[in-house]
C-alpha cells in the first residue's frame, strides 16, 4: 500500500513519502490513478486535437503550440501518429494524451486523465470498467477518503491505537475498491461515508 501524501494538492500517480509515523493505506487509490492514466493515454491524441481545435499540417505533422502559456510564433509542436504522442520543441512539453490536457488546462495528471476519459474515454478501449462520465467523480471520492485518512493520522501522530484503528478502516476501503472494482460511484460514496463515521468514532484514552 502506498504512503499517504503530505499535501491534499498532490494527486499524481507516483508515491509520495509521508511522515515517518504515517501508516500505509489506500493501495487502491494508487492503482486507480495508474489505471486511469494508462487508459487515458491510450486515447488517440487526434481526438483531443479535434476537440480543442488543433490543426496539424497533414504532411509535416507540425503546428504552432496550442498551449496557453506558450506564445509560439513558428510551428514547433509536432504530432507523431506512429506513437500516438506529441512534443513541442519550443516549450519542451510532451508526450501523451494526459500531458496534452495537463498543459492545455493546467490540471494535475490524475485530474487531466479523468478529463480525457470524460471527453473521449469510450474510444480508449472496449472494456472500460466505468462510464466515461464517472471517472472524475470516482477520482474525487478516492481523494476525499485519502484526505480523511491523512488528517486523522496528523491528529494522532503518537497514538499507536489510533493508527491501528485507521489502518483497519483503510483496509476495508482497499478490499472493497480493489476486489469489487465494478461497484458504482454511488455505492463507493456510501462506503466512504460509513468508513469516515467508523474512523471518526475513535476516542483516545484519557491522559492519566
pLDDT for the residue numbered 21:
38
For residues 112 and 138, membership in a common domain is answered with no
**Does some domain include residue 182?**
yes
For residues 35 and 137, membership in a common domain is answered with yes
* pLDDT: which is higher, 127 or 167: 167
For residues 175 and 135, membership in a common domain is answered with yes
Q: Over the stretch 93-145, which tens digit does the pLDDT of each residue have?
A: 988 999 999 999 999 888 898 888 888 756 554 444 444 446 777 778 877 88
Does the pTM exceed 0.85? no
Name the pLDDT band for 58 (thresholds 50, 70, 90). confident
**For the residues of the chain, what is the DSSP string, one character each?**
-PBPPS-TT---SS-----TTPPB--HHHHHHHHHHHHHHHTS-HHHHHHHTT----TTT-EE----TT---SS--EEEETTTTEEEETTT--EESHHHHHHHHH---HHHHHHHHHHHHGGGT-TT-SS-GGGHHHHHHHHHHHHHHHHHHHHHSTT-HHHHHHHHHHHHHHHHHHHHTTT--HHHHHHHHHHHHHHHHT--PPPP-
For residues 84 and 116, membership in a common domain is answered with yes
Average pLDDT over residues 32-44: 84
For residues 99 and 117, membership in a common domain is answered with yes
Does residue 185 carry a pLDDT above 90?
no
**Does some domain include residue 1?**
no
Last residue of a domain, one of 123, 153, 182: 123
Number of domains observed in the structure of the chain: 2
pLDDT for the residue numbered 88:
93
Does residue 87 carry a pLDDT above 60?
yes
- Give 172's Cβ-side CA count (13 Å radius): 16
**Does some domain include residue 207?**
no
Last residue of a domain, one of 123, 143, 162: 123
For residues 90 and 78, membership in a common domain is answered with yes
**Does some domain include residue 184?**
yes
For residues 117 and 141, membership in a common domain is answered with no
For residues 48 and 114, membership in a common domain is answered with yes
Look at 10-19, 48-57, 126-135 and tell me which has the smallest mean pLDDT: 10-19
**Does some domain include residue 206?**
no
Residues 100 and 45: beta-carbon distance below 8 Å:
yes
pLDDT for the residue numbered 28:
54
Cell of 89: 520543441
| Percent with pLDDT over 70 in the chain | 73
For residues 113 and 136, membership in a common domain is answered with no
For residues 110 and 141, membership in a common domain is answered with no
For residues 114 and 136, membership in a common domain is answered with no
Q: What values do phi and psi take at 146, rounded to 5?
A: -60, -40
**Does some domain include residue 20?**
no
CATH of the domain at 94: 3.90.580.10
Name the pLDDT band for 166 (thresholds 50, 70, 90). confident
Q: Residue 52's domain spans which residues?
A: 43-123
**Does some domain include residue 143?**
yes
pLDDT for the residue numbered 34:
79
* pLDDT: which is higher, 54 or 29: 54
Last residue of a domain, one of 67, 91, 123: 123
Q: Whose grid coordinates read 480543442?
A: 52
**Does some domain include residue 138?**
yes
pLDDT for the residue numbered 103:
94
- Give 91's Cβ-side CA count (13 Å radius): 20
Average pLDDT over residues 15-36: 54
* pLDDT: which is higher, 178 or 140: 140
Q: Whose grid coordinates read 464517472?
A: 134
Amino acid at each position: 500500500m502506498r504512503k499517504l501524501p503530505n499535501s491534499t494538492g498532490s494527486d499524481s500517480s507516483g508515491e509520495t513519502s509521508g511522515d515517518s509515523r504515517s501508516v500505509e493505506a489506500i493501495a487502491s487509490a494508487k492503482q486507480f490513478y495508474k489505471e486511469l492514466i494508462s487508459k487515458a493515454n491510450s486515447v488517440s491524441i487526434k481526438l483531443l486535437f479535434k476537440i480543442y481545435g488543433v490543426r496539424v499540417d497533414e504532411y509535416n505533422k507540425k503546428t504552432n503550440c496550442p498551449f496557453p502559456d506558450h506564445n509560439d510564433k513558428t510551428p514547433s509542436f509536432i504530432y507523431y501518429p506512429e506513437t500516438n504522442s506529441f512534443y513541442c520543441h519550443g516549450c519542451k512539453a510532451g508526450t501523451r494524451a494526459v500531458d496534452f490536457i495537463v498543459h492545455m488546462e493546467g490540471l494535475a495528471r490524475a485530474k487531466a486523465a479523468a478529463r480525457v476519459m470524460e471527453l473521449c474515454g469510450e474510444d480508449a478501449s472496449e472494456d472500460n470498467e466505468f462510464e466515461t462520465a464517472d471517472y472524475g467523480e470516482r477520482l474525487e471520492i478516492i481523494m476525499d477518503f485519502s484526505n480523511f485518512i491523512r488528517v486523522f493520522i496528523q491528529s494522532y501522530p503518537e497514538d499507536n491505537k489510533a493508527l491501528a484503528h485507521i489502518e483497519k478502516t483503510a483496509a476495508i476501503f482497499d478490499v472493497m475498491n480493489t476486489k469489487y472494482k465494478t461497484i458504482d460511484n454511488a455505492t463507493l460514496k456510501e462506503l466512504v461515508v460509513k468508513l469516515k463515521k467508523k474512523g471518526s468514532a475513535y476516542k483516545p484514552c484519557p491522559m492519566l
